[in-house]
């Protein structure tokens, strides 16, 4: 048997012990956003530092002005070095009454389809995912006495509450953390049988726009049609954001937007996801994005302009015949490839100002921004990971972008100058951030096996 074969056999035989260790950390109430659980967050950081040390990592929980950051190094392997990132903090459990069991009393339960599921807060996001990687490292050490590649492991405690203290930590320890590749396991599968590598993460630009017309609310009978209504003004501006083909009409908006690489486009075509399959579960059937683009393109590799909230005038119970003085809307732009969020923000403001009547006023409030991140699937680490996943799951991984953002990915790329391989084993029905969060036992078990294969493949890449 090869070393990898022996490691995989060890993982299979040691699954009950791996579950027991996962359950230990799941019992810790590491809710980062609530100060009442600050002590539990420290306990969880200390638990991970001790656990990494038990494998042979030089590990410690480093204090910050918020929750501790766990950092461990074990650099006795050969080949390219890697930095693995995960987080030990979890979301609040409210509403508690909707849980079928204590959120911090983990157990194996049967799902509706008979699958065995780990039920607990943090089971999928992100304690279960983190431990798939740690258990793979443990197996390699137990069987061969060393890791296949030099590794650093960073586990933070504020991912669910803003991650304020991680960027300065990265900057202050950039030389120590620098590696050949970053690894993140905070993503999911395409479906329960198909693994996935995330190659793109969209950026974000958030704006709030407020239109003011009259100096006070007006009686609609006395002033109707003569006085400008800010609801009308704002609605017209927002409607102008898209043309009849779903394209955003802001001048220069598509600057920096590239077409997909052929390899990714071909892999997406093989997934054969129809608009009806994607939209049907939410009660829709007709895609609203750019015509001629698949739903996968629309939600992952194309930029968006969405109205997240709007209001003006009376919105209470009953009816009030008023022309409001002010109307406002919150608008977000998901950005891709090389779009510049600062330029998008400036272009949006120019677009709005050009449409505001001369006797009305407009104000803007910024609500954050960030650039998109993309990685070439042709890199050696990505090819090695893809081959390892195919060996475990029996089919090539989907290469997909994510519609949302994982800010640490951009931080690693920009601060440490590293590409990041994002592959995880969560499923769409894991109910992360919701009551009754779960992680399939198969996701945990085969996630460990997958990481064992990936570490072996990276050593030869």
pLDDT at 270: 82
Question: Which of 455, 386, 383, 460 is closest to 151 using CA atoms?
Answer: 455
The whole-number average pLDDT for the span 71-80 is 89
Whether residues 229 and 170 share a domain: the answer is no
Percent of the chain with pLDDT over 90: 84
User: At residue 405, does pLDDT exceed 80?
Assistant: no
In a domain, 288, yes or no: no
* pLDDT of 260 strictly over 90: no
Query: Same domain, yes or no, for 438 and 324?
Result: no
- Among 351, 370, 389, give the residue marking a domain's end: 370
Task: Answer yes or no: is pLDDT of 267 > 90.
Answer: no
Q: Do the Cβ atoms of 203 and 370 come closer than 8 Å? A: yes
Residue 266 maps to a domain? no
The pLDDT of residue 200 is above 90? no
pLDDT of residue 79: 85
Residue 383: C-alpha distances to residues 3, 195, 334 (Å): 21, 14, 28
pLDDT for the residue 283 = 92
Please state, in angstroms and rounded to a whole number, the distance separating the CA atoms of residues 183 and 258.
25
| Residue % of the chain over a pLDDT of 70 | 100
Task: Give residue 128's domain range.
Answer: 3-200+373-459
Segment (H or E) for 310: strand 304-311
Q: In Å, how far from its chain's centre is CA 63?
A: 25
Residues 104 and 223 in one domain: no
Per residue in 18-28, pLDDT (tens digit) is 999 999 999 99
Q: pLDDT value at position 199? A: 86
| Angle, helices 127-144/441-459, rounded to nearest 10 degrees | 50
CATH number, domain containing residue 35: 3.40.630.10
Q: Do residue 211 and residue 81 come from a single domain?
A: no
Residue 289 belongs to some domain of the structure: no
Mean of pLDDT values over 154-164: 92
**Does the residue 291 lie in any domain?**
no
In a domain, 80, yes or no: yes
pLDDT at 179: 97
Structural domain ending residue among the three candidates 338, 370, 402: 370
- Tell me if 264 is assigned to some domain: no
307 and 194 co-located in one domain: no
pLDDT greater than 90 at residue 261: no
pLDDT, tens digit, for every residue of 324-340?
999 999 999 999 989 99
- Indicate whether 147 and 247 sit together in one domain: no
Q: Could you tell me if residue 48 is inside a domain? A: yes
307 and 420 belong to one structural domain: no
420, 375 in Cβ contact below 8 A?
yes
Let me know whether 145 and 160 are in one domain.
yes
pLDDT, the chain, mean: 94
What total number of domains does the chain contain?
2
Q: Quick check: is 283 in a domain?
A: no
| CATH code of the domain containing 224 | 3.30.70.360
Whether 42 and 157 map to the same domain: the answer is yes
Of 370, 404, 421, which closes a domain?
370
Q: What is the pLDDT of residues 118-150, one digit of tens each?
A: 999 999 999 999 999 999 999 999 999 999 999
């Amino acid at each position: 048997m090869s070393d990898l074969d022996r490691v995989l056999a060890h993982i299979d035989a040691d699954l009950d012990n791996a579950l027991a260790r996962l359950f230990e950390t799941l019992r810790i109430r590491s809710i980062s956003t609530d100060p009442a659980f600050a002590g539990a967050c420290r306990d969880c950081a200390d638990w991970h530092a001790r656990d990494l040390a038990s494998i042979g990592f030089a590990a410690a929980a480093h204090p910050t002005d918020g929750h501790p950051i766990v950092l461990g190094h074990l650099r006795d392997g050969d080949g390219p070095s890697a930095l693995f990132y995960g987080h030990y903090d979890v979301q609040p459990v409210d509403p508690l009454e909707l849980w079928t069991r204590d959120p911090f009393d983990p157990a194996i339960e049967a799902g509706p389809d008979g699958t065995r599921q780990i039920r607990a807060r943090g089971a999928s996001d992100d304690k279960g995912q983190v431990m798939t990687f740690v258990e793979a490292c443990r197996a390699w050490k137990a069987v061969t006495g060393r890791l296949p590649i030099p590794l650093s492991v960073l586990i933070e405690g504020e991912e669910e509450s803003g991650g304020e203290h991680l960027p300065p930590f990265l900057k202050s320890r950039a030389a120590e953390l620098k590696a050949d590749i970053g690894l993140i396991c905070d993503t999911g599968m395409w479906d329960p049988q198909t693994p996935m590598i995330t190659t793109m993460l969209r950026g974000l630009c958030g704006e709030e726009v407020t239109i003011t017309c009259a100096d006070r609310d007006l009686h609609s009978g006395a002033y109707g049609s003569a006085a400008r209504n800010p609801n009308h003004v704002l609605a017209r501006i927002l409607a102008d954001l898209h043309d009849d083909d779903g394209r955003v009409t802001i001048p220069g908006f598509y600057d920096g937007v590239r077409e997909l690489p052929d390899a990714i486009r071909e892999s997406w075509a093989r997934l054969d996801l129809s608009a009806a399959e994607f939209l049907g579960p939410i009660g829709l059937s007709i895609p609203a994005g750019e015509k001629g683009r698949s739903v996968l393109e629309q939600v992952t590799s194309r930029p968006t302009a969405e109205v997240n909230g709007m209001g003006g005038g009376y919105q209470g119970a009953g009816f009030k015949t008023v022309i409001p003085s002010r109307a406002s809307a919150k608008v977000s732009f998901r950005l891709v490839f090389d779009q510049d969020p600062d330029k998008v923000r400036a272009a949006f403001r120019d677009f709005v100002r050009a449409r505001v009547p001369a006797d009305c006023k407009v104000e803007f409030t910024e609500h954050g921004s960030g650039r998109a991140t993309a990685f070439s699937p042709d890199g050696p680490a990505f090819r090695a990971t893809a081959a390892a996943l195919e060996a475990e799951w029996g089919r090539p991984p989907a290469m997909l972008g994510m519609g949302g953002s994982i800010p640490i990915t951009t931080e690693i790329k920009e601060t440490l100058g590293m590409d990041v391989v994002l592959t995880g084993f969560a499923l769409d029905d894991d109910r992360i951030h919701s009551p009754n969060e779960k992680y399939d036992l198969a996701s945990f078990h085969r996630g460990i096996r997958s990481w064992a294969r990936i570490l072996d493949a990276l050593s030869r890449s």
